[in-house]
Structure 1
Amino acid sequence: TLWIPAFIVAADLADKIISNAKLRDSVALSLIGRAASSTGSPADIVAAANDTFLRRVGDALGFGQLTIGMVPDSLLTFVKLASAAIASQAEAEAGSATNKLMTP
């Protein structure tokens, strides 16, 4: 007869013996981890929408848009923004180019 323990402890398993396929199924477009700043069982952290980033905000891990606090001061310089449309002198003087950059 084969003896089977009532439960398995970590010492019963060799390192790296559990494959991804044997670990568990996950929700689509997710990663496994802890979203909260606490100890506990891992769960799926889901990217529920396109064009989002994995980020840490308010001591929680999740997917979302960038916040202003994620952009360090002086990171976005005029040179970096220069690819945007720049108002002509006439547009700047008229104040009609509200969606363009203006130079002195």
Structure 2
Amino acid sequence: MTAIDTLYATILERRAADPSESYVAALTGKGRAKIAQKVGEEAVETALAAVGGDRAQIAAESADLLFHLCVLWADCDLSPQDIYAVLEQRQGRSGLAEKASRSS
């Protein structure tokens, strides 16, 4: 089991917890739009950390981004395996060819 799989399993457990005791439950209770907003915020913070070049900050912000992305996947009834399957389908293809295939 990967760290992402373990994180995702924990998120699934905490979604049904008391929102006063669980950030995941509280965020989930605010709805998908709020979860998506948090993903966007964390993505921007990760990008800004990358521009700043501080490896520890990039790692910390990346962890926050992955956490919130897993919360979003759970809300959308997607699992890490669903994402892994898409990545496996793309493996061995040029990024440019893959992007062009989505445009058509």
Please tell me the TM-score bracket, short chain as reference: under 0.3
Q: Which has the higher helix share?
A: 2
Q: Which has the higher strand share?
A: 1
| TM-score (norm. length: structure 1) | 0.23
| TM-score (norm. length: structure 2) | 0.23
